[in-house]
Amino acid sequence: MWALWVLTVALVLRSPTLGAAAAPRPNVVLILADDFGWYDVGYHGSEIRTPNLDRLSAAGVRLENYYVQPVCSPSRNQLMTGRYQIHTGMQHQIIWPCQPYCVPLDEKLLPQMMGEVGYATHMVGKWHLGMYRKDCLPTRRGFHSYFGYLTGGEDYNTHMLCCPIAGLNLTRCALDLRDGEEVATAYNGVYSTQLFSDKAISIIRTHNPQQPLFLYVALQAVHSPLQVPKRYLTPYSFIKDPHRRLYAGMVSAMDEAVGNITLALKQSNLWNNTVLVFSTDNGGQTLSGGSNWPLRGRKASLWEGGVRGVGFVSSPLLKKPGRVSKELIHISDWLPTIVGLTGGKYNGTKPLDGFDVWDTISKGLASPRLELLHNIDPLFVDMGPCPSAPSLSTSPWSRSGFNVSIHAAIRSSNWKLLTGYPGCNRWFPRPGLNSSSEGPGAVEAEPLKPVMLFDVEKDPEERKEVSAQFPAVVDYLLSRLQQHQKSALPVHYPDDDPRCDPGPTGAWGPWA
């Protein structure tokens, strides 16, 4: 009996679940900014003040080789699925309010996986992943609660969206704000950055600390229209460009919101077991006051200014905080990283394109990601074209296995290959050097080639095109694009459905 008792005690002590209390699952707070430019955070040298983002990132890990998608819906799609948009048919543009589609319903989303392991899952802010039928709504895709708007952009104060409806020959202005699945009508005049941060803070303060929390805050800031309370403009009277001045105020309001959310986590005694992820969804829009200086291009382009994103992780759970990471990380990596961190499983998911990069971020280990597909979009039309679209020359790779006229880009190690027209190809000047984003300070580039290669580690500004010097690298990356294209679903981009019309007194929302 004595020997049996000793053996039983030994087994209990060696058991990770019985011998000691299992470590509580960490809370995860994921904050996504909208159209936030590379240069527009204080720690990148901006004239815009972001003390909360600077402080949080300095105490955490700044991600300086981090990539997102060039526009809204594709980034959010990859964030929620962990899969490239070529594998969900969403590789072309955004989802417009009257298009009858959403992230495919057979895709399993991040909040569903979090809910399966006991998390309380809440979302506040911008959805923009489709809403033509109720099954597409956040509350049907894994979130226990939702407060926000379903489309891509609207008035910050009235929460109204005006949108043309194809087939009806009219432009409809209607409310787009939901509390759960019900239209929220009581918030006219409340600035959305404050409204959404207040809702997030309320969730934090009423959360049961015995249950792990997953909170996704998708802020409207700093997407157009350029609107901000006057009190945020006072520090920026020195900015002459009126667009830039308004944008700067919007950034300050966003920074304040992030600070208030973080303060609420600390006051609620949740911070010590919380991982906070901050990310933009795409590069800054120079037409609306944003800046990606010194990077080339802007939102909607495959240049670094469109896809290299501001991002960081802040948490007491980081093993080696206070660092800058230059390891390759992509927005699709958040799903496997967060699910892995919280002990979840990928049951029911389709093959992931993201990697678990927690050890890369927390411990400073090498990233498991060696390659990154930016996109392959055979239907590309530039949403924010340069005043004069450049012409493309002929290419010695025109007979390769991949159609080099297609808008595509891929990153492998230090190399980045672009094909077709990548989008507006200018270098926009550092803010303050000219009075307009399209003024004389916007530098014209050499004529574009259908195939362009850059060493983005040595040349992050993409100024020296080197395809002629490294033809073997070009051949390899074109073969990789060809392999990715073989696995791509056809583009799903349906025509508008006029049944989307909310009428003169309705609200944008499901109609099918």
Beta-strand relationship, 329-330 and 66-67: parallel
Query: Percentage of residues in the chain with pLDDT exceeding 90?
Result: 86
Question: Residues near 32 by Cβ (< 8 Å), separated by ≥ 6?
Answer: 76, 79, 125, 126, 216, 217, 218, 219, 279, 280, 281
Q: Which residue has the higher pLDDT, 141 or 22?
A: 141
Give residue 401's pLDDT.
87
Give residue 388's pLDDT.
66
What's the pLDDT band for 349 if we cut at 50, 70, 90? confident
Q: What is the pLDDT of residues 4-42, one digit of tens each?
A: 443 343 433 333 333 345 678 999 999 999 999 999 999
pLDDT of 434 over the 80 cut: no
Main-chain dihedrals φ then ψ at residue 485, nearest 5 degrees: -65, -30
Q: What is the pLDDT of residues 101-140, one digit of tens each?
A: 999 999 999 999 999 999 999 999 999 999 999 999 999 9
Rounded Cα distance between 120 and 113, Å, is 11
Q: Which domains does the chain have, with CATH numbers?
A: 27-370 (3.40.720.10)
Main-chain dihedrals φ then ψ at residue 454, nearest 5 degrees: -135, 145
Give residue 344's pLDDT.
84
What's the pLDDT band for 229 if we cut at 50, 70, 90? very high
Cβ-count burial of 287 within 10 angstroms (0-12 exposed, 13-18 middle, 19+ buried)? Answer: middle
Secondary structure of 14-54 as H, E, C letters = HCCCCCCCCCCCCEEEEEEECCCCHHHCHHHCCCCCCHHHH
Give residue 419's pLDDT.
96
Give residue 435's pLDDT.
44
Which residues are catalytically annotated?
72, 128
Asked if the bond preceding 429 is cis, omega within 30° of 0, the reply is no
Rounded Cα distance between 238 and 225, Å, is 21
Query: Percentage of residues in the chain with pLDDT exceeding 70?
Result: 92
Rounded Cα distance between 92 and 100, Å, is 15
Q: Tokens standing for 332? A: 């699709």
Q: Tokens standing for 182? A: 């019900």
What's the pLDDT band for 389 if we cut at 50, 70, 90? low
Range from 90-94, 269-273, 345-349 carrying the lowest mean pLDDT: 345-349
pLDDT of 441 over the 70 cut: no
**Residue 256 CB coordination number (10 Å):** 17
Mean pLDDT of the chain: 92
DSSP 144: S
Rounded Cα distance between 92 and 74, Å, is 8
Give the pTM.
Answer: 0.94
Range from 296-305, 333-342, 439-448, 450-459 carrying the lowest mean pLDDT: 439-448
Rounded Cα distance between 175 and 81, Å, is 28
Q: Which of 56, 40, 2 is nearest to 314 (CA)?
A: 56
